[in-house]
Structure 1
């Protein structure tokens, strides 16, 4: 079975999300910071009259926070009935992935070293990490509601 994914770059790495979870891709819009939220929550933006929480994906993955510029993009996703934005460096392409080629994320004994990954796959000679939006958003629900 094949799945369609959108690929994008964060901190020099290629990631992908299932196209069915993506509502739109927006050009960079400055965010309004919010008090008392985790460091990976960049803030909120106005999306046609709706307040949209925006997550700095690099910071959420444990990397250096993004210093956003007009070249960055915000991918608007739907997770558990709630929209949220993800700051990415750039959006690349739509690809079809054979699910048989999706390998599980690595583990170290009982510890999951990549808790936000659904799996990995080589696409066009590059390793692509497919994100698990449910896992990525698991602890965000309380933070965004603050």
Structure 2
């Protein structure tokens, strides 16, 4: 379905991710740190016999991490690699028939880097985000 989106929160902001990009949603267990990794890479986790690179979305946006306790992650596959995007919460998958609209507000730099449009759902504005830009992190985006 081309109008299906996963609705989640990152740093208290409601976001939408196109469902075609989402492999699964998981609760993460142990995360092994990776020495010398960029700050937004929380570490590595095992997922169904695969290695999952865990990305702290808050850190990737330039915020301090607030997540405590169990971590929920949206699993994305890019170029054969699996990434777990740690989000605050996951609402559900929703069909949103209206096309994404341009962003008409001034966004903080981290959000401006990953946002590709706005969607409205049940009277709430959702930022439509590009997970690949989120995975790149702030440092890599500045170097490009």
- TM-score normalized by structure 1? 0.80
Q: Which of residues 125, 128, 141 in structure 1 aligns to 2:126?
A: 128
Deviation at 1:136, TM superposition (A): 2.4
1:3 is aligned to 2:3: yes
| 103 and 59 in structure 1: CA distance in 2 versus 1, 3 angstrom threshold | same
- 1:10-58: CA deviation from partner (whole Å, max 9, x where unpaired): 2211111111111111113231111011111000101122211000011
| Root mean square deviation, CA, Å | 2.5
- Secondary structure, aligned partner of 1:94: strand
Alpha-carbon offset, residue 106 of structure 1: 4.8
Structure 1 stretches of 4+ with a deviation exceeding 4 A read none
Structure 2 counterpart of 1:58: 58
Shift of 1:128: 0.6
> Alignment partner of 1:98: what SS?
coil
Structure 1 alignment gaps of length 5 or more: none
Which residue is 2:79 aligned to? 80
Give the number of aligned pairs.
Answer: 137
**113 and 24 in structure 1: CA distance in 2 versus 1, 3 angstrom threshold:** closer
How far residue 134 of structure 1 moved from its aligned partner, in angstroms, is 2.9
Distance in structure 2 (CA, Å) of the matches to 1:54 and 1:114: 22
1:5 deviates by 0.3
**Is the Cα–Cα contact under 8 Å of residues 45 and 54 in structure 2 kept in the other structure?**
yes
Could you say what secondary structure the match of 1:103 adopts?
A: coil
